[in-house]
A = this chain, B = another copy of it.
Amino acid sequence: MSCVLTPLSLSYAASKQPVDLVYPYLDSANSRWFFFDSASLPFGMVNLNPDTEIGGAWGSGYRYHSNDIKGISHVHAWQLSGLSVMPLSSTRPVAEIKNDYYSPFSHDSEIVKPGYHKFSLDRYKIDVELTATTRVGFHRYHYAPNAPQQVLFNLGGKLGPSELGHAEANQVAPNAVAGYITNLPTYRRTRPTKVYYYAEFDKDIARLDSYRGEHVFPAVSGINGLDAGLLIELSHDAKPLLMKVGISYVSVENAKANIDAELSTWHFDKTKEAALTEWNTWLEKITVKGGSEQQQRRFYTDLWHALQGRRIISDANGQYVDQTGIDPVIKQLPLNEKGVPLFNHHNSDSFWGAQWTIATLWPLVYPSVASDFTNSLLTYYKDGSMIPRGPSGGNYTYVMTGASSTPFIVSNYMKGIRDFDVETAYNGLTYNHSDKGIMAKAGYEHYTKTGGGMRHYLEKGYIPFPLPPEESSYGNHRRGPGQTLENAYQDFTLAQFANALGKENDYQYFLKRSQNYRNVFDPESGFMRPRNVDGTWQTPFDPYQYENGFVESNPAQGTWFVPHDIKGLAELMGGEAVLIERLDRDFLVAEKQGFTSGTAHADETIESLRRAPINYGNQPSMQTAFIFSAAGAPWKTQKWSRRVVDAVYSHLSPERGYNGDEDQGLMGALAVLMKIGLFQLTGGVEQDPIYYIGSPIFDEITLSLDNDYFTGKQFTIKTLDNGPDNVFVESATLNGEPLNRAYLLHSEITNGGELVLQMSSTPNPSWR
């Protein structure tokens, strides 16, 4: 264990609320575009923060060790960026300013909280404060006395994942400009996506200068085109400048309507307080006692990460843009009797790996979020005939592989979250598992007719690796054995749904398909192994070769991907004892490099680091510590899950955080679940799904239950004699009665109650 755990003082615990414990700097030295957050609300359309790097989807956004603020932008989403603005005070000509306006800043004077960000632009001597509502960024700029009060809108260039295309900007009121920027297509999001803005000041605009490319247009009413921008000079007075920027993917009108709906006043401090309070309300759904201050701070930072990233794209009035067809179409979400949308529509990175992370955390602690996302996914199905696995810009991206939304939706249903059209969902999922659906699309296969190898899966029960050249000349992640395992697991989850809905034929059909994992297990090597189109095994075979048939992993890691049938996997390996021993050995090896392939996603490109049997820095190994529980050795789960938490998810610095790719809440949610000691190996898709009990790191953990969905008020997990060495469960009681099994049923939690775990420094193999 590489971090020092210090006991949390009583005074500390008493004075701090969850929102105060969040450490937004975590891992920000390794930020990718959408990772860092400050001025935003949960899942907010707007997440406003300064960018210190803007060139690309990776290595961009707020990067802790970059010295210059290069703009303050409103959207940091999967494959999307929003309006970038920069306050400044300059008497230089526009032609110069537009090419040279970045400002150094320092962390010394900076304040970063969930919902608030303050920093100083040293070059211009401007103190900047930022907060937000869901769809509106709120700026307060304290200029130096008598300095020009200017704001630059740079509407072109590169901004995170997107090259920006055609932009529009027009003065629409004495104190407002409005227009849009265009996110040009990316390899993943293949259609242009407009982000509309309505920017309103509390002072009148004194002068507007604009530019397009190298051409300057002085004293204008607006600008449009490529690489365009505006320099706005406000009428001068001594007060700080306030600016509200409403964002919409639909229209300027909606961007303004979002301001009207969410931020009709000019009270910056109240808005900031409301943002902090909102975050606190969300975060305190889980309260913890005990552990060190660092553990608590990190825990709430993890939880905070699990509640953002997958951002709202529908407006306050429920309008959104469907881009599944060749032209954008404005559509309307259903409204309740008061005219409020029944749910929000979302942009989202992949659900690949979600079964072990947000798909467990959200339904349990934030069931309304699980409902929201389910309805959002089904909206895509209605619009574009497929349930997506990572939609962006109102369309499919085909990021990663498989039908990764299936476990999430089935799990929600099994947990009693059923306020969606169940029959539609079932139809969408079965379509998704067909040769027409998303399971027949490997990574970014936007145009394929051959279907990501799916025809082989349907014909032969496995997907070859490599595919014949005519089937695999573009796209990504065509990793046959890995896809086979993923499909088989997802087929299992769909089988459970079929079973619950009484669709017996489908149940049998998908259950049979769920055994396809066996077709890529090579008894000779003992690994899941690539097979050729003709059925022969890949020779020679290196089980530690990265991406050798396995998506962002190696065969050794992939071999553990049978979460739905550990018994079956054990049989293939020679019995549960063999499996346990082998997995134990893998953990011992993995521990030597800290259970990850380096400390950042980019490290996975280093060959020596990625020859690991387990990598807790990315999705494919997330479940491994809990396989022991399913194989009858929960004490090994307790041991290894705790060691993984300590080694991988306990740091609290800009440099160390998730040791890989946090992926929009996935790693945050995983860390939360491991730290509260609840994990669902199958993703929770059985009737009354089970949660394996791990090794909670706190003395007391209380989940507040959402009574719109569940009957209990709260569920508490107490650990007695917990400590860095006392990681093993000696015995347990549930509501005062002895609990002689290492798992809980969903209903046992959601009906409310108390689990008490007696912790010990030695394993108790008889508690299982």
The answer to whether B251 and A327 touch across the interface, beta carbons within 8 angstroms, is yes
Nearest-neighbor residue (CB-CB) of A178 within chain B: B326
The B-contacting residues of A in range 197-220, CB under 8 angstroms, are 210, 215-220
Contact assessment for A191 and B218 in the assembled complex, using a CB-CB cutoff below 8 Å: no
Q: A251 vs B327: C-alpha distance in the bound complex, in angstroms? A: 8
Contact with B along A264-305 (1 / 0, CB 8 A): 000000000000000000000000000000000000000000
- Contacts A168-B326, A226-B185 given: A447-B210 contact, CB under 8 Å? yes
**In angstroms, how far is the closest chain B Cβ from the Cβ of A213?**
10
B170 touches A224 (CB 8 A): no
Residues of B contacting A448 in the complex (Cβ-Cβ under 8 angstroms): 220-221
**A222-276 CB contacts (< 8 Å) to partner B:** 222-226, 251-252
* Closest chain B CB from A647 CB (angstroms): 41
Report A's interface with B, CB cutoff 8 A: 165-166, 168, 170, 179-180, 184-185, 190-192, 210, 215-226, 251-252, 326-327, 446-450, 470, 473-474
From known contacts A218-B473, A470-B219, A473-B216, infer whether A224 and B168 are also in contact, taking CB-CB under 8 Å.
no
B residues within 8 A CB of A165? 165
Q: Once bound together, how far apart are the Cα atoms of A210 and B446, in whole Å?
A: 12
For this complex, 14 residue pairs linking A to B, each with C-beta atoms less than 8 Å apart, are A168-B326, A180-B326, A180-B327, A184-B226, A185-B226, A190-B225, A191-B224, A217-B447, A217-B473, A219-B449, A219-B450, A220-B449, A221-B449, A251-B327
Distance from A547 Cβ to chain B, minimum over Cβ atoms (Å): 20
Name the B residues within 8 Å of A450 (CB-CB). Answer: 219
3 closest residue pairs by CB, A with B? A220-B447, A168-B326, A217-B474
Q: Known: A216-B473, A218-B470, A219-B470. Is A191-B166 also a contact (CB below 8 A)?
A: yes
Copies of this chain present: 2
Partner of A185, one of B184, B218, B224: B224
Which residue of the partner chain B has the closest CB to A170? B326
Bound form: Cα–Cα A168–B190 in Å: 10
Q: Is the CB of B470 within 8 A of A326?
A: no
Question: Which residues of B have CB within 8 Å of A191?
Answer: 166, 224
A-side binding surface: helix, strand, loop or mixed? loop
- How many Å lie between the Cα of A446 and that of B223 in the bound state? 8
Of A222, A326, A449, A473, the most chain B CB neighbours within 10 A belong to: A326
Q: Which residue of B lies closest to A171 (CB)?
A: B449
Most chain-B CB neighbours within 10 Å: which of A180, A215, A216, A218? A218
Contacts of A327 in B (CB 8 A): 180, 251
Residues in chain B near residue A215, CB distance under 8 A: 474
Chain B residue with Cβ nearest A326: B168
Shortest distance from the beta carbon of A167 to any chain B beta carbon, whole Å: 10
Q: Which residue of chain B has the shortest Cβ distance to A208 in the bound complex?
A: B449
Q: Tell me whether B180 and A166 are in contact (CB under 8 A).
A: no
Partner among B192, B220, B447 whose Cβ is within 8 Å of the Cβ of A222? B447
Please give, as numbers and ranges, the residues of chain B lying within 8 Å of A180 by CB-CB distance. 326-327
Closest-by-CB residue of B relative to A207 is: B449
Q: Report the separation of the CA atoms of residues A292 and B447 in the bound assembly, to the nearest whole angstrom.
A: 60
Q: In the assembled complex, which residues on chain B have CB atoms less than 8 Å from the CB atom of A225?
A: 185, 190
User: Is the pair B185, A166 in contact by a Cβ cutoff of 8 Å?
Assistant: yes
- Contact (Cβ within 8 A) A447 B190: no
Checking B166, B210, B216 against A192 with a beta-carbon cut-off of 8 angstroms, the contacting residue is B166
The answer to whether residues A190 and B474 also contact, given A166-B184, A326-B180, A447-B210 and a CB cut-off of 8 A, is no
Q: Using Cβ atoms and an 8 Å threshold, which residues of chain B touch A447?
A: 210, 217, 220-223
Residues from chain B with Cβ under 8 Å of A446 in the complex: 224
Question: In the complex, how many angstroms separate the beta carbon of A229 from the nearest chain B beta carbon?
Answer: 13
Residues of B within 8 A of A192 (CB): 166
Task: Tell me the complex Cα distance, A448–B223, Å.
Answer: 10
Q: Closest residue of chain B to A223, judged by CB?
A: B447
| B-chain residues with CB within 8 Å of residue A473 when the two chains form the complex | 216-218
B residues near A222, Cβ cutoff 8 Å? 447
Q: Which of A179, A185, A216 has the most CB of B within 10 A?
A: A185
A211 to chain B, nearest CB (A): 10
Residues of B contacting A326 in the complex (Cβ-Cβ under 8 angstroms): 168, 170, 179-180, 224, 252
CB distance from A527 to the nearest CB of B (A): 32
In angstroms, Cα B447 to Cα A464, docked, is 59
A190: nearest residue on chain B (CB-CB)?
A: B224
Query: Bound state CA distance, A636 and B412, in angstroms?
Result: 92
Closest residue on chain B to residue A250 by CB atoms: B327
CA distance A190 to B217 in the complex (A): 14
**Shortest distance between the CB of A47 and any CB in chain B (Å):** 25
A77 to chain B, nearest CB (A): 20
Report the nearest B residue to A163, measured CB to CB.
Answer: B226
Alpha-carbon distance between A224 and B187 when the two chains are bound, in angstroms: 10
Nearest CB to that of A446 among chain B residues? B224
Chain B residues in 8 Å Cβ range of A166? 184-185, 191-192
CA distance A662 to B192 in the complex (A): 37
A470 to B218, CA, bound (A): 7
State A502–B170 Cα separation when bound (angstroms): 39
**Nearest Cβ in chain B — how far from A411, in angstroms?**
33
Residue of B nearest to A328 (CB): B327
A190 proximity list for chain B (CB < 8 A): 224-225
Residues of B within 8 A of A179 (CB): 326
Beta-carbon nearest neighbor of A251 in chain B: B327
Min distance, Cβ A518 to any Cβ of chain B, angstroms: 31
Q: How many angstroms from the CA of A398 to the CA of B393 in the assembled complex?
A: 34
* Distance in angstroms between the alpha carbons of A165 and B446 in the assembled complex: 19
Which of A179, A220, A327 lies at the interface centre, i.e. has the most chain B CB atoms within 10 A of its CB?
A327
Given contact pairs A170-B326, A185-B224, A216-B473, a sample of 12 additional A-B residue pairs in the complex whose CB atoms are under 8 Å apart:
A166-B192, A168-B326, A180-B326, A180-B327, A217-B447, A217-B473, A218-B473, A220-B448, A221-B447, A222-B447, A224-B326, A224-B446
Bound-state CA distance A276–B168 (Å) is: 44
Bound CA–CA A473/B226 (angstroms): 19
Instruction: Give the complex CA separation of A331 and B168 in angstroms.
Output: 21
Q: Which residues of B contact A184 (CB under 8 A)?
A: 166, 226
Q: How far is the CA of A446 from the CA of B210 in the complex (A)?
A: 12
- A170→B325 CA distance, assembly (Å): 11
Q: Which residues of B contact A221 (CB under 8 A)?
A: 447-449
Chain B residues contacting A219 (CB-CB under 8 Å) are: 449-450, 470
Determine the distance from Cα of A166 to Cα of B168 in the docked complex, in whole angstroms.
17
Task: Report which residue of A179, A224, A251 has the largest number of chain B beta carbons within 10 angstroms of its beta carbon.
Answer: A224
Residues of B near A216 (CB, < 8 A) are 473-474
Smallest Cβ-Cβ distance to A471: which chain B residue? B219
